[in-house]
Each structure stands twice: as structure tokens, then as C-alpha cells.
Structure 1
């Protein structure tokens, strides 16, 4: 069991309290709910009008210039009129044009896969080379659908299948360029590489070398092979890429007996079953042989896309959890501030504040992410909040409490956050920072396990549709206090949603502000039904100044919409379609979807698509 706050009043009363405060955070529930329903008071409308990065770019204007699409179930990517997409980088596509071609029967070898796009594309980022015409695209590969990854699926598991599955995880770095006719393609590039579960990586920060990080293969505890379950991501101000290790527990097998209740293994989701049979051919995934190996995953990993010879760095100062994404901003003193969510029911929202300015750290050969303070969020009922430091020796974090040193606080971040008294959230996932205001938005995707108690920041029982939160630190990212509000409640009218019924959506996951201040919302999970039918996942755009929200994209069946980045001019938008047709089988791989190839002999493929406007304009405007 995780700590809960006491029972709270009904949602209507909580919402009324937020409204009565007329929140200082423009675009919060107090303004957004009213604006979405066309009932915002003039004062609230004024507050909305003052928010967002677009306000700083010139006169207030409407940010959303497209007509929304309808929800749907088609085996296609649906976009508004005037938009088109191109499949740029599907699973199995070589990372350079001269690489090994994709085999439709999934017959590519592990060696081929290590030079091709991995599976389950997730977070990504575009790093310009020639501005908006060419750049490096870093793409995460979160997981694999084993029954579609291999010819014959999971039957007759072999070391080769383990190797191929491991090669389909990790990160791709590719160089993309736009041709004269506007079409995007991959280039032969000296930067192109794959980071997989066989790539040597370094462990840095307070946990490096600790006894908990040592294994038979690495008695010093500073080196590890690979990065795993790479979910979302974020760029740094010094032009590197942060890739986040999320649900790593399912790859490690503890034996027939599940870990004891209350143990660190149980708190991190280690179970008696593993859906990945890697442990049958590689003992480092068998916890009976290597009990510490699983502790070397679940970190934020830094990759330098401009140096293909550099080793990825696991930055342990940022804590170990189910990292969803990492957003880096500069604090007032020039230090790195990183916002992160832990994607699990009843887990927490975190922030790291670097110990020194970024420039000083780098000038002395130090990482801005290796020294600093990790905090976890507590949300109070009155709309205030506090960042609680997770520092050894603090309340609940002493040796008597079971934490021998700071490294143990970080290796067991979840237990430290429990002890500190953080607020359990409804699956905190992506976060993003609003241009111009510095407000932090983050998604709480859903939580159907919240059946007995609620707290003000998670105001619904059986929260199957999720919500989006907003934190205001009053332009001081390093602050230890903040104000908060519920930006919106997803779902349908029956669930008390604060979005218009015709733009209903559920399970917000991916979240990103573009340079003009549009808030892009991507979904993964339960969607409101239409005429009794389940709907495909979708992507919407919101103008937080006006309370306007519109459905921009609907994906194919079984997919998650995730990963979003754009060229600097905003005219090309990259989006990932993850695991379309995930319900397919080895006997009938196209049972769920045949996107994107629509080949009679192929299978569905996760893919990066690039979206452009037919008139060449800014996406969404």
C-alpha cells in the first residue's frame, strides 16, 4: 500500500474551491473549464489571454487554425483537411539508406536489427543541423511485440531471439533532410547509430560505484550494457538527449516465488513472471544469478547525438523510478532543473535542481546532472504545494529509516518519496513547460485502482480517463514552494470532464508545448466511446489562453500516439505511432492493423511520421 491523503470532498466542491480562488495560474481549471464550456467570466478570460508563449510573440491571436477531425476506428492516420503525412522511419527501416532492408516476414537477424529502427517508437527530439531543412532525430524504442518481432513469434525461444529483442530496444539516432519538393528522407550520415541493450554505457553520479550497483560482470559498479524500455525524453540546453528508462521490472525474473510484500523489489514491481524470456538465455536478467542487475536500470540516460563514439551516461542523481520523460530548463542561477514523472498508479512527480550553473559545471568537465538535489511533490488541498528534498539524513531518510547513504535514497527513490510524505498521483507521465510563463503541465494518465479515497490533486474515484495538472513556481524553477491546479479533467460528460463533448478524449499521456504556445496532448489508453464503440487513440491541440481544444489526429487501431517534436520553423511535425495492430498474432499478424504498409504479406509497424501542411504553413496554426 502507498500513502494516501484523507478523504476529500466531492469533485463539485473541489472544483468550486478552485474556481473561487480564481487561480493565479492562467489556464487552470478555474479558467479552462469555463472557457471550454463557453462560460468563462470576463476576468477569467482576461487571465487566459495573458498566458502562453504566443502572447510574447505579438498580438493575441487564435493559435488553432484547423477544423477538428472526428473520433474514429479506421486503420489509418486521420488528419484535418489541408494536412498530409509521410511515413519516415518505421520499425525495421535501416538507419542509413545503405543498411539492411526490412523483411516483411520478420526474418531479419539480430545483427540486422541492430542497424535498423527499433520497435515501439516513443519520445524523440529534433536537433537542427541546417535549421529546419536537416537535423538529427533521436527516437526512443520503448518495447517490443514479441509475437510480431520474430518469424514464428515467441515459440521455440532461442538466444538469437533474445539478441534481436534486445537490439529492438533503445534509441535510434538518424539524420533526416528535406528535399526540394518538401519530402523528408533519411541521409547517409556519420552521426547515425543505434543504442541498444548491448551498447556499453556508464553509470555516473552519487550511485556510481555503490555496492548496490555492482555485479559479477562489473565489480566496480560503473559500467553497464545497454538502456532499456526507453519511454519519453527531452533535450538539454547543451544539446544532448535524455532518454528515460521506464517499466524495467518486467525484464527481470526473480524465481518462482514473488518478492515479499513491502520489499524494495515488490515496490518496484518485480513479480514472479516475466513477459520477456531473456532470462532463459542471458543470466544477467535472472535475479537469482545477478540480484543487482535490475538496479542498474530505471534511470535517465544522457546520449550525445553529435558524438557517435560517446558512451551513454546513466545520471543517477535524477533518481531511479519508472521515468516517463525529463524536461530540462535553466534556473535563475543558471542551474539545470529537470521535471520528471513516475509512471505508475499512486506514484509521484519529481524535480531535480543542479548544484551549480550549467556553464560552470561544463567548463570544469562536470555534468550539470551529476550533483544537485532531487525533490518530490506534495500537493495541499488549498492549492499550494511543496517540493520535498530527498536528501539522506532528512525526515524519514536516515540510516535508522533504512537508508544507509544518499546512493540508497536514489536507488530506492520510490521508497524515499513514500517516507518523505509525497502525494500519490494517478500515473504521472509526461510533463512540459509553458513558453513565456514557466508553468509546468503534466499528465495523470489514469488510475482505476483509486476506489476508496481521493485527494485534491486526484479528484476522481475510478479515474479511467485521467487529467492534466498545472504547477506555477512563479518563474523560479528552483523554488521549493508552488501553486497548483487541475488544468482539465479528461473523459466524457458522464465522468465530469471539463472538455467539450465533441472533443472528448481519455488517458492523456504525451504532452508538449510548441514554440507558439500550443499545448499538444497525446493519448494512450481508454477513450470515451462513441455510439457504444471504443475509439482509437488521438492527439489534440489546446490554446490555453482561449480554452480552445481540438482533435488534430486519430491513429490506427491498437496504437498509442506518442513522441512529438518539430523543426524550428514549426512547418514539419514529427509524431510517433506506437504498436499499431498490437493484437496481431504470428498466424495472422494483420489481425489488428495493417498500417502503415498495407501489404498482403507484411505486418503492422511502429513508425515515425512527419506531418506537413499542403500550403507549407505552421502546423496547427
Structure 2
């Protein structure tokens, strides 16, 4: 380590804190996405608003009344203080979860899918809080050894070499792949770093901070074993975990698909344009039917510095991807992050990556056939004809939903030849973008039909004036030309394995309701003039603050079909607000929910939602929601995460007895530092550590 003057803390330059667009701290916005919502919206097009076949439907819905609705109305009074409608009335007597039933798991097998529980009330605790009757434990956290030779974690003795062997900072996607009845592989993304919380003041110089932060990105593969109670898991000893792997900034990735070798991905260290070092800002992901893990590279635009100036050849492309040159200063320790020296380096990020956790010697791949944008993740389902279909979202205000359909078909055999065939499925096929149309009827719902518009196959571009490589490298610009629907930050998009429908988390959009992004049938909540209380002056509420969950139904149940129907399953927010909608369920009996981010499913097909940026005054958490039957739309909060944290994952596993949650950026509150933390969770030291938690039934009479 290099000593610096005590009290010095190398930091990024803090420029104008702007206005927050949820409950996220300014530091979270800075470190995760470079304050994207304080920047001009990168999509300048004026197309892509949902149009009705008959007439504009917004303002005529019998359920979502009131025309252009204001998300700001949800902020009248604190949900934490009042308990909200759901906290006051978790259920009618005699109903599952209601006062007439005891708290805790109600299913005889301890299943999270069928357990009756009293929802967790909104809170601001510095704790991971589950519904009564459930326990939890930390499985792995920042700095824990992953591979042989890794030192034990010491925040005063961090190094690049240690970080490349330890569990990285900030954990997002969680996948669990079984090895046998007692062991499994936990695969986790490391999205971004917060140097204010990671490094003691005066312990490291500025370049050391940058190098160590870079090394803390990537992914980890960690072997876990069953622990004690059914549903509980623990980390296996590193010395006996031969599958453990740490994927980091120096890990070599292969580029696959049509863009591999293109001149615009060639750099001085890779003149052939065939491989890339590292993966950054990995957000959500998915586990494939053939046993690999997909991970989405999201806010990669923020990592590149302007250097001596931006290359004018890519002015339009850089702008559409939010690449401004206002990076993190990483070019001082690695020249590839200097845009004036390596203008093609950004084109090598923003892809979906595939990792084989069962082979720690395998080379991870970046699949260019799935397009380049701010990937939240990618989730694969096998269509009726055997082709692999991957659903994806571009996490930006006003951007689009995508899907990819493979050219080849899935081989269900477990043979080595079948696996080799399946590993090629994401290298050839067709990439589509979604266009939604409102139905124009006053049926009390926001719904309609849609079309998947083809952008390119591996052989032919469907966008005039753009080659296959153009479309895949600059997918946003290609999609702009075909008029898809501009959505409110489409994040996790996952097919439900039980009912065959697809669910998309649309987290929020501070720009919705303005001139460039008017409200429409699929995005009905936007800015308007509202009063904060009786006698208060009128103020302008900021867009869609609480988000939606969109439900897509493929035509004939075929995921390879190019048409679908859609409806807004949830319009999130305070249940007492007039604009909220919970699949038609009684609003007095649901938990308040804000800013849905990731989704998952249990074996009964229930939707599990994790939130990011709760704008209702509570910590973020995870919620269970039935999607069929009389309980459809009944949102119940299962857990909350600690102060300042985001709930990531989630993953329901182990025959529905385990809920894995990645607790990301605990204590990331404005003004917090290593010495003055806003959280100390998981309370194993005087500073917060992002960690993966597993929750499980605690009081079931196991046989």
C-alpha cells in the first residue's frame, strides 16, 4: 500500500447532485449509472408511444381514473408512519395471511409458494427482516475468499490480487445450479463499486483505489452446501470447492456472433477484435436450460474517460449510448478506458455474457447476436418448436423491450454432443424489438396487443441502411428506425414457467408525462400539477415514480411467435392512491410496492418481485404475488433489506424452500463513509458488506 495523508480519501469528482427520482441516494445514482436520470434522455426519437386502434384510451379507464395521473400523489403522508393500507389490513379473518390464521408457513412442506404469512410492514430498520416464521442467514459477502490462495478479508489490506480471489463488491443476479442432492453452485454478479464505503480514509492512494475497484467487478461462482434446516445453505470451504471461480477485469472473454472481428471492436491490444478482458456493471441475468448462466452488462457507458477528446466518427453512436467521456478516471491506471486512445473499447461492452459454472477453465463469451444496449439481463425459454428464446430489457428511460429467437433448436439430451450444440444457440438467430398497441376499449384495464419487429438475423439486416453488424453494435439506433414502444426503464424480463406468460419489471421513469414522453396506455402515470396536502400550493410531480409490471401473453402460447397481447398487471405505489392497480385484487389487502426491478417465480407460478429505489418511504424488499386465480394481484411483502440497500435477485429454489436475495449497497446513503457508515449490516464489523442471504421456513414440523 502507498501511504497518503491521514484523512485523504480519493473520490470521484462530485458534480451537481440534481434531483432524485426515487428514494435512491445521490451516491447510488452516481456510482451505479453515472446519474443517468440527471442527464439528457439518450433516446431523442418522438415515435414509440402506445396508440389505440380506436382512440386514445388514457383518461377513459374506469379503474385507473383521473386522466394523466401523478405519481407525486403517492407521497402524501409516509407509508412507514401510517403502515399503509396493506400493513393495516394484511387480510380478512380466515383468509391466508389474515388475522384469522397464525403467522408463519402454512404449507405442510414448508413451501414458500404456498406458505401463509403476515406481510412485513414497511420499515427503515438496518436489518434483513423476514415475515414471522422464517429465518435467514448470510451465505457469502464482499471480501470472502472464493478461490485458493485468497486471503481473509481486511479492509485495511486490500489489493488487486486479493480482490481477484475474493467475493467482489455489490451483488446483483443470483443463480443456483445443483451439483447433487446436497451441493450447488451459487453464481453472482458484482455490478459496481462505491469507494466511499469500501476504503478507509488515508489507507490507499487514488490509483490504488481505482485498480482495486476495477478488480472488484465481475462475477463469482461459489460452491454451497445444505446447512441445518431444510432451505438453508452455507458456503463450502474454499479448499474443497473445485468449481469456485472469480471472473474479474483480467478474465478473457470470447466475442461470438457477427460482430466478432468487426473493425469497430478492434483495439491496440486486440487487433483482431476477437476477445475482451473483463465484464463490468453486470446487473441481472438468467440460468439457461443447458446449465450456463447469462449476465447483462448494463451501465458501461460511465467507465470511459474523454482523454484528449471523443472520436467524431462515433459522435451519434456515443450520444445514443450515453457515452460522454465523463468517466471514473480509470484511464490513469488502464489506457483502454481513454476514449481518445481506444475509441472502440466501449463497443466491446454492453453485451450479454455467458459463463459455464461447471467448468472453471472455460472461456466466458460475449454474445453479439443478442444486441448491444444497457442489458438488465437475459432469460431463456424453449419455444414449442425447440428454438431458444431470450427476453431482454434495455434499462433506460424511454427505451425498449427485446427478444432473440435462435436459429438452431435445443437438444435436451445430457450428452456432451448435445451440450456443445446448445452452447451455440445464442450465436445465430433473429433479434426483435417490441411495439405495443392499446386496445382502445373502456374495459377497466390497460391492455392491448403487440408485435415483435425483426431487426436482424445473423445473415440479414431488416433495418434499411444498416448492416447486420451495424444493427448489433448500435442496436438502439437500429431500433429507433422501426418505431418500437418507448417504455419506462424495462429491466428484468422473464417467462413464467407455469402459465407461459412473460413478466417485465418497468422500474420507473422521471421523464414520463413530459412533451417527449407523454403518458399512454402502457405507461399511464406521468407528471402533473398536484397538491401535497390541504391548502398546500400546487407543485409539479416528477413522472412515474413507482413503476409497473407488464404481463405479455405470446400468441398461441408460442414464445417464438411475433405477436402477443399485453396488460399492465401492476401499477405500483400506495394502494390508497387512485392510480394504483393490483391485477384487480382488493387494494385494501395488498402491501405497498414501489420500483419493481427483478422478478422470479416459484413452482406454483407465483411472481416474486424485488424492488430498487422504493419511493414510498420504506426500505426496499421482496414481494410475492399470485398471477392466477382469486388471489391474482395480491401483493404481499415477504422481506425488507437493510438501510440504504437494494433487494436484488431474487431466486426461489430448493423445492420452494429457499429464497436467495442479494443485498446490494447496504448503507449507501448520502454523506456515509467507511468511518461514518449509515449501516453496519450484516453486523460482522463496523462497516457494511454487500452480501447474499438465504431465507427459509423456520418453524415447520419437519418429518
Alignment of 1:182-581 (within 5 A): 184-187=233-236, 188-255=240-307, 263-274=316-327, 276-359=328-411, 367-382=424-439, 383-391=448-456, 397-399=463-465, 403=466, 405-452=467-514, 453-461=518-526, 462-473=543-554, 474-492=556-574, 493-494=576-577, 496-499=579-582, 500=587, 503-528=591-616, 534-545=617-628, 546-547=631-632, 548-581=634-667
Q: CA deviation at 1:250?
A: 0.4
Q: Give the SS at the match of 1:124.
A: strand
Q: CA deviation at 1:180?
A: 4.6
**In the superposition, relative to structure 1, how do residues 106 and 140 fare at CA in structure 2: closer, same or farther (>3 Å)?**
farther
Does the 8 Å CA contact 2:601/2:652 hold for their aligned counterparts?
Answer: no
Q: Which moved more, 1:570-579 or 1:169-178?
A: 570-579
Structure 1 residues 84-118: Cα deviation after superposition (integer angstroms, max 9, x where no partner): 11011111111158731111x34321111111111
Q: Give the SS at the match of 2:127.
A: coil
Structure 1 residues 552-602: Cα deviation after superposition (integer angstroms, max 9, x where no partner): 111111111011224332212211100000127685544321111253xx3
1:591 is the counterpart of 2:674: no
Does the 8 Å CA contact 1:227/1:297 hold for their aligned counterparts?
Answer: yes
Q: Give the SS at the match of 1:323.
A: coil
Q: Give the SS at the match of 2:347.
A: helix
How well do the aligned residues superpose, as a CA RMSD in angstroms? 2.8
Give the Cα separation in 2 of the matches to 1:315 and 1:14: 42
**In the superposition, relative to structure 1, how do residues 10 and 479 fare at CA in structure 2: closer, same or farther (>3 Å)?**
closer
Q: Give the SS at the match of 2:377.
A: strand
Aligned to 1:138: 187
Give the Cα separation in 1 of the matches to 2:259 and 2:283: 22
Q: Give the SS at the match of 1:250.
A: helix
Alignment of 1:6-21 (within 5 A): 9=56, 11-14=58-61
Does the 8 Å CA contact 1:571/1:617 hold for their aligned counterparts?
Answer: no
Could you state the TM-score of these two structures normalised by the residue count of structure 1?
0.85
For structure 1, the residue ranges without an aligned partner over 5 or more in a row are 19-34, 39-60, 529-533
1:150 is the counterpart of 2:233: no
Aligned to 1:51: none
For structure 2, the residue ranges without an aligned partner over 5 or more in a row are 1-43, 66-85, 90-111, 412-416, 440-447, 527-542
Does the 8 Å CA contact 2:293/2:357 hold for their aligned counterparts?
Answer: yes
Q: CA deviation at 1:539?
A: 1.1
Alignment of 1:36-75 (within 5 A): 63-75=114-126
Does the 8 Å CA contact 1:259/1:270 hold for their aligned counterparts?
Answer: no
Q: CA deviation at 1:256?
A: 7.1
Q: Give the SS at the match of 2:498.
A: coil
Aligned to 2:693: 609
Give the Cα separation in 2 of the matches to 1:581 and 1:224: 33
Aligned to 1:118: 168
Q: Which moved more, 1:186-195 or 1:295-304?
A: 186-195
Q: Give the SS at the match of 1:339.
A: strand
Q: CA deviation at 1:363?
A: 5.7
Could you state the TM-score of these two structures normalised by the residue count of structure 2?
0.76
Q: CA deviation at 1:146?
A: 1.4
Q: CA deviation at 1:398?
A: 2.4
Q: CA deviation at 1:218?
A: 0.5
1:173 is the counterpart of 2:230: no
**In the superposition, relative to structure 1, how do residues 495 and 231 fare at CA in structure 2: closer, same or farther (>3 Å)?**
farther
Give the Cα separation in 1 of the matches to 2:308 and 2:60: 48
Give the Cα separation in 1 of the matches to 2:701 and 2:329: 48
Give the Cα separation in 2 of the matches to 1:524 and 1:174: 25
Q: CA deviation at 1:163?
A: 2.6
Give the Cα separation in 2 of the matches to 1:71 and 1:17: 25
Give the Cα separation in 2 of the matches to 1:64 and 1:273: 49
Give the Cα separation in 1 of the matches to 2:360 and 2:659: 25
Q: CA deviation at 1:228?
A: 0.9
Aligned to 2:103: none
Q: CA deviation at 1:407?
A: 1.1
Aligned to 1:23: none
Give the Cα separation in 2 of the matches to 1:322 and 1:421: 19
Aligned to 2:38: none
Q: What is the aligned counterpart of 2:141 among 90, 93, 102?
A: 90
Give the Cα separation in 2 of the matches to 1:588 and 1:513: 36
Does the 8 Å CA contact 1:386/1:480 hold for their aligned counterparts?
Answer: yes
Give the Cα separation in 1 of the matches to 2:352 and 2:178: 23
**In the superposition, relative to structure 1, how do residues 594 and 495 fare at CA in structure 2: closer, same or farther (>3 Å)?**
farther
Q: Which moved more, 1:356-365 or 1:376-385?
A: 356-365
